[in-house]
Structure 1
């Protein structure tokens, strides 16, 4: 998180008292996630609209830590399904260009007293979002729900409305930014639903290729600075769409346009002197990039070249004595960095942690079905 949620403490550095950095404290991390499942701390109130994403970090985190039994799966399933948007009829798909995925929280399902045309009221009521839809389907898959039971017809048909002429995606039907994050969400959604009718893969691939920078990494949009998160979205999307096989792009696909040697060089150079991974050049190492960049290396079959011992040592300095991980060493933990810290230890094949399906960002066991 950008702001310290515990800013009211006189000296946040005093929060840690001789933490043990020698081992991955799985039990304490499970307790941390259980606490977040029961009641989110008040600093998360400003993230209410992203409640589904926060739930994804908790549920998926518990599954990675082999503790999914700590939650009531049926309650979770009912709550997630209640957040799906449904059109009144098929005409809305053709006329309004709406997207019918999942809302990020209950607050985006507010009712309107608007007495205008029904199409306008429908647009106001529909606050579904591509990233929230990815998180919703991931949660359902993790808790063992049969995704063939999801009302995917309207979801996928309307998702096509979000793909732009250049192949990129917007997360909502109007007035939003577009970049590689939402290409990844669309690819992951289609992969989980085992139905690729919601995306033009060739156009999406061309957009991804246009985002590779001169130094080998990928920016969120064409011409922007290479970034660890954007590079993951690019490589994972290509993998999900079938353009990368057995670690590296095959010679019989048009992904030969990816400059793989330069991409590998950029990615490996992101491991800093302290062992952690940075998201951009000249930035400090950050817990989450152990997954974003480490995941890229795993997909490309090059993770054997990173210094795993140094990475592990860095991550342990970001482990909190109250459970979870912080962004930088000796700060307080947050859900986002905690989740990707767990993912990073899965990549490092930590004992007692489920293996990861890197391209979907969840446990491999959940990805193939429980």
Structure 2
């Protein structure tokens, strides 16, 4: 919680400039999200004086307010569909960790409100936006105050490195790797799975207390279709990053001991793991559950079989990954800026070469959960 944050600002390596993959993920699930909002509002046609909406893991940059815009557009569409104002006002609560760039979000609010008023007729007096810093692995909001919860590209991040794999562990059991790998011992895979179970269960339990009966959650995050956590679609971006880091460690530019002690607080869960935790907690029914494939570079049209195309795709992926993991690598591995630049030049080359031979894709899970009455 103290370390992880997306790269801030609007520079060349910022998350704001390198979040195309996350934007693609949002667009893929947009229709499902909008249908969930409409069904909640129009299905019961209950008039709400104030609708509570939370975006968990909102980050910053262009994607943050695009999600809120889509939700607000859908709320207004529901009002028009029934010919009366079902929702009088919306309370929008933007959540992320304390180190998130909330200032960047707040600076973009004037333009957001202007667009909202021009396109829907809703102004500041109809939509009240607040920032709520803190971990979503625990309570964030008062009981029974939320009607719709959205979270995209966030729940694959764990609350911590799995127990027994932390930097100060007596024995480093995943040497030379950053995440689950085909060479990882079974105890590493089990530790990651158990940490996900504990975290996701706490997330579900916390939201069950905050949502009103009949409220919806729209969740979208990385996962896998196979029970095997070492398949390429669940871990290979980390495998290739480990290769780039270890090449620098062999040259003495990164301490190999630190690499051996580093394990990413990330987990791409199996479909059945997700469903099992939801059913075990018992507060929600699963309304929708789908899986989509996402290109590592967001699906830009490039002929990767040319040298220039391979370079461009590798660079796009490397910038996307760097914008997300740089804060962790700086903190845990002590990588200096010039070495960091070299690391991601190497990573881009490794990724481009890999994708020119095997077009590995992410698997993104999308689900809608309904709070039981």
TM-score normalised over the length of structure 2: 0.23
Which structure is higher in strand share?
Answer: 2
TM-score, normalised by the number of residues in structure 1: 0.24
